Amino acid sequence: MCEDVAKQLEQLKSQLAIHNYRYYVLDEPSITDAEYDDLYKQLVALEAQHPELITPDSPTQRVGDTPREGMASVPHPIKLYSLSNVFNAEELAEWARRAGDDGSLDLGECPYVAELKLDGLAVSLLYHNGLLVRALTRGDGTTGEDITANVRTIHSIPLKIPVAPCEIPVPEWLEVRGEVVMPITSFLALNQRQEELGQKLFANPRNAGAGAVRQLDPKMTAARNLDAYLYDAHRLAFIGGTVENPNLSESNEALAATHWQSLEQLATWGFKVNPVRKACQTLSNVEQFISQWDHDRHTLDVASDGIVIKINSLAVQDALGFTAKSPRWATAWKYPPEVKTTVVKAIELSLGRTGVITPVAILEPVKLAGTTVQRASLHNFEELAKKDVRVGDTVRVQKAAEIIPEVLGVDMRGPEPQPQPYVAPILCPACGAHTHQYEGEVALRCSNPLTCPAQQQLRLEHWVSRNALDIAGVGSALIEQLIAAGHIHTPADLYRLTVDQLATLERMGEKSAQNAIAAIEASKQQPLHRLLVAMGIRHVGSEAALLLAKPFGNLAALANTTVEELIAIDGIGPKVADSVVAFFTLPQTQMLLDELEILGLNLTQQGGGALELLSNALEGQSIVVTGTLPTLSREQAETLIRQHGGKPASSVSKKTAFVVAGEAAGSKLTKAEALGVPVLSEATFLECLKNRT
């Protein structure tokens, strides 16, 4: 029986690895997301029943669960060198001469390989019998940081190299080197989130990606949507208790004769390699490639700042060797950053959906890094004051990492200079409310989170979301239509909608309109803690909302509390307390509360059934939920625990009654097993509750 299960597990892992490779490496998925999810759920279910058969190469083990205490420094088996740089044709020709292009070495029929230089973080991956066992940063070239847990979250890096079909078998010990990068689309989305939260923006994808790889929590790395391109492989040996490379030449030649063949071999083994590469017969071919990609690189979803040129023959590479810092057989042509001057026509204020106000320079159109630039963010008012940019000034602009237009500084004052620097607004440009800067933030915010029109879309989307009032059938598309039609401006307006108003909207028939209105009406009975989440009070999430709702019991009591009373609640700190009191002192909040009461919303912790006591089956028991459950969110599972008298806990101890574990349960599952704490699947947990009630 166990052998049959093990075989089934191996088949599922193999299928998922193939589909993972096709999706993340080839970008050619052969099944739908739903079909992939179904296979994944089958694997999760089998592993939950047989945790003793879980292996490190399983797709369920990509994301760890516990932040690491620190990153260990580990010696590299082979030193990682930095590349030397060239900046023009003369310097490139001089490098080629030193590398044997003068006839002193036989470079073969195809002497060079040119590859787009990806702007990322260099990594070294160690595989033993095809399994990923360690990943290191470049570090100082001799020693790197152990980032294994984080690298395992990057889907384009195989956890296991398929052993067949391969003309060249995977060595017992194999080191693969490459670059971890953050796609430009992911970088822009990350910075947008940072800006909306009033947090510091990342300068470029490389910094954001490198920071993600070096996070102590692998889940933070996984959330950054990183990618990886590999370009080098070495056969290693296990000698005297350490993994090392006794002979670089023999190691390389055992895998391939040329760098081009090495790239092809890596692709055969399932690694993602740089698609922008060319085998060049002459230095003139290299220069043509450099010229072509000076423009074309701007069309890609990955940041690049140059072209890497390598001698193709690995035997010649070995003969050339290294300087103290760089390989003699490779160099990097660096594209110079394009900087142009243009005139500031105006400085406008951009208001984000979470109330962050950003100054934006409106420019005379200028061609920059492949596109026409007319707007450039000045990021925040501290940055604007530092650069002292004024309307009419001629400024220097470039694209940060050749992606985001930015103003470097003033080149020349305008012919009619403004006498005073630009002053940060004291009133919101959208609603006229006072602006506010929270301690520890550089962002300036609108102080009116409830009725500011620039924030209404996000505010309403949050109000109806699953973790807030959970209004089924009312999503972002419908909210957008309702705002455009002038039917809603504030959350209270949702409860004044009629079936007729909804039925006239695009893709909304009579039945759909009735269902939406019924869902809105039902949301009136949700308990207080969900209403608090819906209000979007700064620093108040689901857990804090529960802590606030329990002792006060109704919204009126909470709205009239003090900071001192709030801090006295176990789990509520000064930051949350200050935010809650500030929120309820806003006139807009008072108006909303009055409206909600008139409209018939439940303003107490009773009702809605979310915390209605269903039984005392778990009374006094401390229970931990970990991992991703098949059907329940963690919040839903913890709500069930509370409804049956139990107490959700965040860590496993000897006092833990049992653990409910799902996919990627990580160290909490391991600790539970070590302590002998019972571990239940979601299905067993639900069955247990059913039998006890």
User: Is 117 known to be catalytic?
Assistant: yes
Q: 98-107: long-range contacts (C-beta < 8 A, 24 or more apart)?
A: 98/328, 99/311, 99/316, 99/320, 99/328, 99/329, 100/311, 100/316, 100/320, 101/283, 105/316, 105/319, 105/320, 106/313, 106/316, 107/311, 107/312, 107/313, 107/316
CA within 13 Å, CB half, 334 = 9
Distance of CA 405 to the CA centre of its chain: 22
Contacts of 246 (CB under 8 A, 6+ apart): 237, 239
For residue 157, count CB atoms less than 10 angstroms from its CB and return exposed for 0-12, middle for 13-18, buried for 19 or more: buried
C-alpha span between 102 and 90 (Å, rounded): 14
Q: Give how far Cα 530 sits from Cα of 292, 425, 475, 534, 543, Å.
A: 56, 34, 17, 6, 10
Residues 6 or more apart whose CB falls under 8 angstroms from that of 552 comprise 528, 558, 561, 605
- Between CA 194 and CA 539 the distance in angstroms is 16
Question: Exposed, middle or buried: residue 291 (CB in 10 Å: 0-12, 13-18, 19+)?
Answer: exposed
Q: Tell me how far apart the alpha carbons of residues 413 and 339 are, in angstroms, rounded to a whole number.
A: 18
Q: Is the dihedral of CA 379, 380, 386, 391 positive or negative?
A: positive
Which residue type does 145 have?
E
- Give the whole-angstrom CA distance, residue 449 versus residue 461: 14
Helices (H), 541-633: 542-552, 555-559, 563-567, 574-585, 587-599
Residues in the chain: 693
d(CA 109, CA 131): 36
From CA 607, how far away is CA 529, in angstroms rounded?
11
Give the number of other Cβ atoms within 10 Å of residue 287's Cβ: 18
Q: Is 495:524 a contact under the CB 8 Å cutoff?
A: yes
Q: DSSP character for 569? A: S
Torsion angle of C-alpha atoms 654, 660, 666, 668, degrees rounded to 10: -20
Contact 206, 303 (CB under 8 A): yes
Residue 126 CA: distances (Å) to CA of 74, 143, 174, 178, 188: 12, 14, 6, 12, 31
Return d(Cα 271, Cα 25) in angstroms, integer: 7
User: Among 638, 634, 603, 590, which Cα is nearest to 527's?
Assistant: 603
Catalytic residue among 13, 79, 117, 160: 117
What would the DSSP string read from start to end of 143-163? EEEB-HHHHTT-TTS-SB---
Distance CA 182, CA 166 (A): 30
Closest CA to 17 of 157, 150, 125: 157
What crossing angle do the helices spanning 205-213 and 184-196 adopt, rounded to 10°? 80
Supply the DSSP string of 209-253, one letter for each residue. Answer: HHHHHT-SSHHHHHHT--EEEEEEEEE-EEETTEEE-S-HHHHHH
In one letter, which amino acid is 307? I
Q: Which is nearest to 454 in space by CA: 352, 535, 533, 540?
A: 352
Distance, CA of 258 to CA of 266 (rounded, Å): 13
Instruction: Give catalytic residues, as residue numbers.
Output: 117
